[in-house]
Amino acid sequence: MKHLYVCFPQGRNKAVTLSYDDGRIEDRKFVSILNQNGLKGTFHLNFGYLNGKDKGEEERYGKRVCEEEIAQLYQGHEVACHSLFHPTLTRCPGVFVAEQILSDRRGLEAIVGEPICGFSYPNGAVNQELKRILKDLGIVYGRVVGNTEDFDMPDDFMEWKATCHHNHHLLELTEQFLNKERNQHLNLFYVWGHSYEFSRDDNWELIEKFAEKIGGREDIWYATNLEIYQYMKAFQSLIFTADSSKVYNPSVQPVWLRVDEKLVEARPGVLTVLS
């Protein structure tokens, strides 16, 4: 055995995910575009502003989706937290931060009927104390603002920076991503933004071109933020023998490995022979 690499599902080494904030009504059109092209997104919502409780911001940013449509609208995607009322949490006391996160979680979980453990930082503000509080409250990843302009996996999922905002060299980076041929690395193309920006900037054709260009490809894994986090944690939980000839997968999902030129599926709860 010369090389042993983790792969994305079915042996892929490329993945695409998107992360969009605030839940404005433009999400309806945006989700439709994603669905038509087989893409998956994560949508960070403020439970406290649902059902018309955000009158002060509607003139500037537009209306938000209503509570009754959330479960169906985002079906097949991920609903995640963005705090109850979108404060800059690094300026707030810990007890207030805890209430902002837990109330957002409880409200959104009651709507979608499943655990919610993803987050994006309101106004992009993050520090070590906030990350600690979020972990204590069951949040497993947090997305920051800004652009890496690369396709690397994050070093710290609690400070996860995307490849680019959709207004930041999106189509140029798409070409770079699609042209990557070396499989020594896992390549993740992560796009973030706010769907209302497409209406504001009159550039819906930008995300349509992106989705048509990058969607529907056999060599790409289309996943939510949480699915990527969970997959990488499943890989990290694998237990290898000292000579790397066998691996036990204690997680509940399969993990794919490339052993030299052979593709191997490490199935959950099973000891798998690698060589």
Q: pLDDT (tens digit, 9 = 90+) per residue, 208-267?
A: 999 999 999 999 999 999 999 999 999 999 999 999 999 999 999 999 999 998 999 999
Distance of alpha carbon 21 from alpha carbon 42, whole angstroms = 8
Indicate the range of 3-7, 130-134, 163-167 predicted with least confidence: 3-7
Q: How many structural domains compose the chain?
A: 2
- Token representation of residue 130: 């906030």
Predicted TM-score (pTM) of this structure: 0.96
Task: Flag whether 1 is in a domain.
Answer: no
- Are 190 and 245 part of one and the same domain? no
- Are 125 and 255 part of one and the same domain? no
Task: Flag whether 4 is in a domain.
Answer: no
Task: Flag whether 129 is in a domain.
Answer: yes
For residue 121, what are the domain limits?
13-226
Q: pLDDT (tens digit, 9 = 90+) per residue, 249-258?
A: 999 999 999 9
Task: Flag whether 132 is in a domain.
Answer: yes
Residue where one domain finishes, among candidates 226, 250, 265:
226
**Exposed/middle/buried for 63, CB within 10 Å: 0-12, 13-18, 19+?**
middle
CB 180 within 8 A of CB 187: yes
